[in-house]
Amino acid sequence: GQQVMQIPQYQHVQEGEDFTTYCNSSTTLSNIQWYKQRPGGHPVFLIQLVKSGEVKKQKRLTFQFGEAKKNSSLHITATQTTDVGTYFCAANTGNQFYFGTGTSLTVIP
């Protein structure tokens, strides 16, 4: 099956610092999706990237899809305590979704 690796596994930042998580695949992806899971909650869809080199922004969040469509990143500028949670990337093959292991973000006030 599709292998999607995600780093780092954990990240602690001071409130106001930036945060980045990376998603990597050994094969070319048709798309990449990002989900956020709050502690004790369920994954919630954030965004989808489809085109090579695509960049999308949601307020302080910036999502990128690599030129070769094998990697992606999520960058949060000036983190806030509301950003706490685990961020997952996922590759959608049409029938199945393959999730990365996630990056758990802790924001220290």
Partner 1 sequence: NAGVTQTPKFRILKIGQSMTLQCAQDMNHNYMYWYRQDPGMGLKLIYYSVGAGITDKGEVPNGYNVSRSTTEDFPLRLELAAPSQTSVYFCASTRGQGILETQYFGPGTRLLVL
Cα–Cα distance between 30 and 106 in angstroms, integer?
31
Residues near 42 by Cβ (< 8 Å), separated by ≥ 6? none
Q: What is the DSSP letter of 26?
A: S
Which residues in the 18-77 window bind partner 1 by CB under 8 A?
30-31, 33, 35, 41-45, 48, 50
Give the shortest CB-84-to-partner 1 separation in angstroms. 15
Binding mask 89-108 toward partner 1 (x if CB under 8 A, else -) reads -x-xxxxxxxxxxx-x----
Give the shortest CB-28-to-partner 1 separation in angstroms. 13
Q: What is the DSSP letter of 53?
A: T
Summarize as ranges the residues that interact with partner 1 (CB under 8 A): 1, 6, 9, 30-31, 33, 35, 41-45, 48, 50, 88, 90, 92-102, 104
